[in-house]
Amino acid sequence: MTLSKALLPSVSILSKAFLVLGGTALIAAASQVQVPMIPVPMTLQTLAVLLVGLTLGARMGAATLIAYLAEGAAGLPVFAGGANGAAMFGPTAGFLFGFVGMAWIAGLAVDRGIRGFVPTTLVALLASAALYLPGLAWPAITMGVPMDTLLSGWALPFLVGDVVKAVLAALVVTGGWAMLAGRKA
């Protein structure tokens, strides 16, 4: 069971739509909090994606990220720095599309019953690591960026931040479960 299902046991189509829209709003807001880095800014986007996957589950998490990409493709300034659909063809496109898989991986673990701080942190780290596959493959294939450049400039500077964000996501989600358990007691 996911945290969202525990909080909203009977979820209508309208409730699901609000959860998806709330998730896209969270991700869009988090993408505007950034530390400028070249070629890819460090944002809180991945933290928000983890939170969406860990609270909504695999299907709703992935659906939320697909909706988020659709919002950007439609011209809304939801991506880092207020970017829109043009970013889906730039150097960060692999990361943007990889967010769907990131949310799905995090959500799948939750759907299968993963709970607790350490397991949730490990799942968040795995989902974060998986994001690098499409994130690095895109500029390698479309722009011809060499692997050593990708690793040194596009991956390594972000690893500490990814660990911090995974821990924060696990704290928020396990805290949510603890609050829910306290409410029921």
Determine the pLDDT at residue 32.
96
Determine the pLDDT at residue 44.
96
Determine the pLDDT at residue 88.
96
User: Is 54 in contact with 169 (CB distance < 8 Å)?
Assistant: yes
In this predicted structure, the answer to whether residue 39 has a pLDDT above a threshold of 80 is no
Determine the pLDDT at residue 60.
97
DSSP state of 90: S
The DSSP H or E segment spanning 107 is helix 93-111
Determine the pLDDT at residue 23.
98
Find out whether the peptide bond into 39 is cis, omega within 30 degrees of 0. Answer: yes
3-184 has CATH 1.10.1760.20 classification: yes
SS (H, E, C) 110-167: HHCCCCCHHHHHHHHHHHHHHHHHHHHHHHHHHCCCCHHHHHHHHHHHHHHHHHHHHH
Determine the pLDDT at residue 10.
80
Average pLDDT score over the chain:
94
Closest CA relative to residue 109, chosen from 185, 155, 169, 19: 169
Contacts of 77 (CB under 8 A, 6+ apart): 83, 84
| Residue 117 pLDDT level (bands cut at 50, 70, 90) | very high
Determine the pLDDT at residue 9.
82
Q: 2-16, 49-63, 91-105, 125-139: which range is least confident on average?
A: 2-16
In this predicted structure, the answer to whether residue 42 has a pLDDT above a threshold of 90 is no
Q: Residue 171 has which token pair? A: 């704290």
Spans of all domains in the chain? 3-184
**How much is the average pLDDT of 16-44?**
91
